[in-house]
Amino acid sequence: MESHKDSRLASFFEPRGVAVIGSMREWGEGYTVIRNILDFGFSGRIYPVSRSSAQVLGIKAYPTVNDVNDPVDLAVLVTPSPTVLGLVEECGKKGITAVIVVTEGFAEAGPDGAILQRQLVETARRYGVRLLGPNTLGVLDTDNGLVTGPYFHSGNKPPGGGIGYCSQTGLLTFGVYPIKDKAFPISKMCDFGNKCDVNELDLLPFLADDPRIKVITMHLEDIRHGQKFMEVAKQAVARKPVLILKPGCSEVGARAASSHTGSLAGDDRVYENAFRQAGVIRLKTWQEFWEIPRTLSMQPLPRGNRIAIITATGGAGVLLTDTAVESGLVPAAFAANTRAHLERLSPRLARNPVDVGPLMSVLESPFSIYDQVVPVVLADSNVDCAAIVCHLGPPIVKVFSELVHRLSSIAKPITIFGYGINLHEMEDSARQLEAMGFPTYLDLESAAKALGVGAAYSRIRAKLETQA
Amino acid sequence: MESHKDSRLASFFEPRGVAVIGSMREWGEGYTVIRNILDFGFSGRIYPVSRSSAQVLGIKAYPTVNDVNDPVDLAVLVTPSPTVLGLVEECGKKGITAVIVVTEGFAEAGPDGAILQRQLVETARRYGVRLLGPNTLGVLDTDNGLVTGPYFHSGNKPPGGGIGYCSQTGLLTFGVYPIKDKAFPISKMCDFGNKCDVNELDLLPFLADDPRIKVITMHLEDIRHGQKFMEVAKQAVARKPVLILKPGCSEVGARAASSHTGSLAGDDRVYENAFRQAGVIRLKTWQEFWEIPRTLSMQPLPRGNRIAIITATGGAGVLLTDTAVESGLVPAAFAANTRAHLERLSPRLARNPVDVGPLMSVLESPFSIYDQVVPVVLADSNVDCAAIVCHLGPPIVKVFSELVHRLSSIAKPITIFGYGINLHEMEDSARQLEAMGFPTYLDLESAAKALGVGAAYSRIRAKLETQA
């Protein structure tokens, strides 16, 4: 709504100090927010605001925000809804320009809530305050450890990474997904909640500007200001991939969406066309939303859409080829010298998918076949990307730890689909491979889809560069 | 190929005695098969065949199968390919009517292998032997603990369950999936390998006859004998759901398939039509193959396609509605007394999806809302099935443990999509819920798709009953 190069946006993610206003009794909402912030190791200052406590979790508390003398850039409100309006005004008077309203009970709750929400927006405007929410879990920034969720999520601090991530539902944020256990490579995450002020028009340029962010993903139940969205989205797409999960494809889905956050979802074809024109890549499922950005954040973009598949089981090669083709990829035809190299290893190997399974079953050291095949295939000038199928366990981790520098110098994207019989060992190995930069999936389809999305973005980018 | 009511088929799964022929050195192929069989607690007799060992893992060994005096119904061959032909003949002479050829190096390996495979089939015919394979991991039967895989998979014994499962690739069997950790509810599983003799024409009627099996799932890279397949598939579909994953939808995928098991994949539209006419439900992905049968094996079939969604987060309700509609379901319109009951709990609750989230955040005991909502919604005569979204952890396990009898008396299918922040806790809770019979997914889409497949089968079944 406001100008989209707004310095106040940075205060939501990188405030020097954050005031937390809410119940400070043990496990009250304000207390829990502070527990989470401390737990994630926030590098800025924290100011609990409480009339009843002199200190909270060892931190000095203040009766009102006005009593804080240091600079406060962000306030987090987790108080009952009738108190929020007055507190936003207090924040405005104090000069706080970014306020997260975690509190529920606004437009999503019915007509009275909608009126209260409008008043909130008017008050915020009057004081030059930007609002995130209401009805939001707020933000997460892995760079400085800021997190504002009102549910305790100790131990769920993810590693850093290249994903910038916005959602219009708490379901798709840090409070309800094992982002640490799955090592979700996130830089900044934000829940728009009811989206009364801060929205995709703000976050698209903000995340596009952030050099640590390699891919922007958004879950949006609706998009208002279509013309402005197109403009802002195009500018972001020119700089990095923008992936959007927009549900409500089905008409009944759209009705469910409109009752959830008090917004009106439009005709789906309008969105479909808008996304295509802007170069936004549309995601279709919850699972794609979590899995696909992983590859784009960790791996280089492919220059084209020719995929090599290297697999320890022929059946996976067939299924991956299917999904790859559906995702816009084509199987690469290997160059003569690649075929010659593979034929020297085994006459049946010089095909794509490269089925290394039969050779593995006769080799003294079966996993060494990956050393001999993966770098050669990836270096082939007819190959733009590769999906690798392997047993997930210590041997393949060792192979990739020895290959990591050779592969990164080739600068083409790789995904791994790993199978096995011990789920914990598979997950441990996946995390070790990802710590080396190789996105590793336990479901077959994601390994191909993620490369397809990378190639789709490269095509979009090339088209934009031709037009420019 | 042979008559499909063939008593010899039972010998593959329920032999009184099994002979294992292969290297008996420690971790040799024969030794490993026996380790696996012992590990899974096979209830029949085991006869290691070895010229060099007098006993293997404490079990008396025999120089040849002919030296065994007890009844042997099944032989498992894991010897080098040039020896297999002679061994099949020996088995035939001994009167063994079921032979699993685990060995690779036949039609999948090139023209010479194809010739050898034809000779194998001719020899088997001559002696009245049925062959499974070659190039197969063989079978798994959880009822008697029979397993024939040549790779050690200690600890991967799954619980019993209602799924009968065939695959044309090892990728989709017990050797390469955490069936125990994921509590995959399997009764019988079989890998067709190169499918030189035993195939879907045999297993469809065999699994349809088995009263413990509630759903048949198959991965097929090709189907030969189309006319016969249609006949056999229709008969199976009349008794239980038949789900088939047939890759090669894309033309390039089809080419990859034809090079994998030496078979020729046909035009995909032919398969699509054949499946529709036979009432077979086609699965599209590896993930659907593992996830969807779970619900059909544990839960009753829905009488219609009207779904209720009960969710702790509005965003999940929207996404689930989308997937449900794409899967052929429609949101149920609740009856007046259901709406009245929900309205008494909270005015905003009487909608589908039922978003219990706002109420949970104000309840003293938040999870009690599921007690009050789930049975009432499920009992509504306008509701055929329900997907439930909840935080996966001890509280919801407790709720369902108290509801299990009430819900099972309503006899309508339920799926659960569970979220959380601790992956191990989520998996533990999912396993506990599934032990009570509630299929629990950690991915959102499967929870809706599985109910959609159930409803699709109910429609097919109703149509068949009208025709009959």
- How many Å apart are CA A204 and CA A280, to the nearest integer? 11
Q: Smallest Cβ distance to A176: which of B317, B319, B420?
A: B420
Q: For residue A68, what are the CA distances in angstroms to A62, A87, A95, A96, B371?
A: 7, 14, 11, 11, 46
| Alpha carbon distances (Å) from A75 to A51, A137, A315, B144 | 16, 13, 54, 63
Residue B343 touches chain A, beta carbons under 8 Å: no
Cα separation, B258 vs B245, in Å, equals 16
Contact B171 A259 (CB under 8 A): no
CA distance B269 to B284: 14
Contact residues on chain A for B321, CB-CB shorter than 8 A: 247, 250, 252-253, 256
User: What fold is seen in the domain B300-467?
Assistant: Rossmann fold (3.40.50)
CB contact under 8 A, B315 and A168: yes
Sequence-ordered alpha helix ranges (H) in B14-153: 29-39, 81-94, 111-127
Whether B176 and A420 lie within 8 Å, measured CB to CB: yes
Please judge whether A260 and B314 are an interchain contact, meaning their C-beta atoms are less than 8 angstroms apart: yes
Checking if the pLDDT of A2 tops 50, the result is no
B103 pLDDT higher than 70: yes
Encoding tokens for residue A41?
A: 């190791």
Which DSSP string corresponds to B387-417? EEEEE-SHHHHHHHHHHHHHHHHHT--EEEE
Pick from B243, B250, B288: nearest CA to B269: B250
Give the residue among B93, B313, B312 at the shortest CA–CA distance from A169.
B313
Interface test mutation site (partner B, options A319, A346, A426, max chain B beta carbons within 10 A): A319
Q: CB–CB of B308/B341 below 8 Å?
A: no
CA distance B152 to chain A (A): 10
Structure tokens at B209: 């006859």
Interatomic CA distance for residues A421 and A266, integer angstroms: 45
Partners of residue A423 in chain B, C-beta under 8 Å: 178, 181-182, 427
Q: What angle do CA B401, B403, B405 make, to 5 degrees?
A: 95
Which helix H or strand E contains A457, and what residues bound it? helix A444-467
Q: Kindly state the tokens that stand for A291.
A: 């899995």
Per-residue pLDDT averaged across B263-280, rounded? 81
The ipTM (two decimal places) reads: 0.93
User: Distances in Å between the alpha carbon of B245 and those of A336, B167, B202, B356?
Assistant: 35, 9, 18, 36
**Six token digits for residue B233:** 């598939």
Q: What is the pLDDT of residue A259?
A: 63
Question: Hey, is the C-beta of A248 within 8 angstroms of any chain B C-beta?
Answer: yes
- So what's the pLDDT on residue B362? 84
Q: Please give, rounded to a whole number of angstroms, the shortest distance from the CA of A318 to a CA of chain B.
A: 5
Per CATH, B8-295 and B300-467 having the same topology is answered yes
Report the alpha-carbon distance of residue A32 to residue A54 in Å, rounded: 17
A418, pLDDT greater than 80: yes
Half-sphere CA count of B415, side-chain side, radius 13 A:
29
Which helix (H) or strand (E) element contains residue B223?
none
Q: In what order do the strands lie in the sheet with B74-78?
A: B45-49, B17-22, B74-78, B98-101, B130-132
B67 in Cβ contact with B54 (< 8 Å): no
Residues in chain A: 468
Task: Quick: pLDDT tens for A244-285.
Answer: 999 876 666 666 666 665 554 557 888 889 999 999 999 999
Residue B446 tokens, joined: 């499967």
Given a contact cutoff of 8 angstroms between Cβ atoms, the answer to whether B243 and B214 are in contact is no
Average pLDDT, chain A: 92
What is the pLDDT of chain B when averaged over all its residues? 92
Task: Say whether residue A41 is in contact with chain B using an 8 A CB cutoff.
Answer: no
pLDDT tens for residues A163-191? 999 998 777 677 789 999 999 999 999 99
- Asked whether residue B2 carries a pLDDT value surpassing 70, the answer given is no
**pLDDT at position A5 over 90:** no
The CA-to-CA distance between both ends of chain A, in Å, stands at 28
Interface contact A169-B424, CB threshold 8 A: no
Q: Name the least confident of A138-152, A193-207, B251-265.
A: B251-265
> For residue B203, is pLDDT > 50?
yes
| pTM for the full predicted model | 0.94
Amino acid A157: pLDDT: 87
pLDDT band at B270 (very low <50, low <70, confident <90, very high): confident
pLDDT given at position A165: 94
Task: Please state, in angstroms and rounded to a whole number, the distance separating the CA atoms of residues B101 and B89.
Answer: 13
Quick: pLDDT tens for A136-152. 999 999 999 999 988 88
Q: Which residue has the higher pLDDT, A152 or A287?
A: A287
Among A170-179, A321-330, B151-160, the least confident range: A170-179
Tokens representing B76 are 């498992």
What is the number of other CB atoms lying within 10 angstroms of the CB of residue B394?
Answer: 12
CA atoms within 13 A on the CB side of A281: 31
A4 pLDDT exceeds 60? Answer: no
Antiparallel, parallel or unpaired: β A146-147 and A139-141: antiparallel
Subunit contact A316:B109, Cβ cutoff 8 A:
no
Residue B178 in 3-state DSSP? coil
Residue recorded with tokens 């309840």: B363
Q: Does the domain made of A8-295 have the CATH classification 3.40.50.261?
A: yes
Structural tokens at position B283: 């699965």
Contact flag A252-B321 (C-beta cutoff 8 Å): yes
Has residue A222 got a pLDDT over 90?
no
What average pLDDT does the segment A152-167 reach? 88
Rounded Cα distance between B73 and B91, Å, is 10
Query: Mean pLDDT lowest for which of A445-449, B236-240, B247-251, B278-282?
Result: B247-251
Q: Residue A225, Cβ neighbours under 10 Å: how many?
A: 13
- H or E element at residue A337: helix A336-345
- pLDDT level of residue B262 (50, 70, 90 thresholds): low
Q: Where are the domains of chain A?
A: 8-295, 300-467
The confidence score (pLDDT) of residue B256 equals 67
User: Which H or E run includes A409?
Assistant: helix A394-410
In the numeric block, which tokens belong to residue A162? Answer: 């290249």
Taking the CA atoms of B425, B428, B432 and B438 in sequence, report the sign of the dihedral they define.
positive
Instruction: Count CB neighbours of A91 within 10 A.
Output: 28
Mean of the pLDDT values across residues B424-451? 97
Helices (H), B100-238: 111-127, 200-209, 226-237
* A326-379 per-position pLDDT tens digit: 999 999 999 999 999 999 999 889 999 999 998 998 889 999 999 999 999 999
Classify burial at B446, counting beta carbons within 10 Å of its beta carbon; exposed 0-12, middle 13-18, buried 19 or more. buried
Which candidate in A321, A334, A443 is best for mutational testing of the B interface (most B CBs within 10 A)?
A: A321
What does each C-alpha distance from A125 to A38, A154, B420 come to in angstroms?
A: 31, 35, 36
Tokens of B307: 């779904």
| 3-state DSSP assignment of residue B439 | coil
pLDDT higher than threshold 50 for residue B4: no
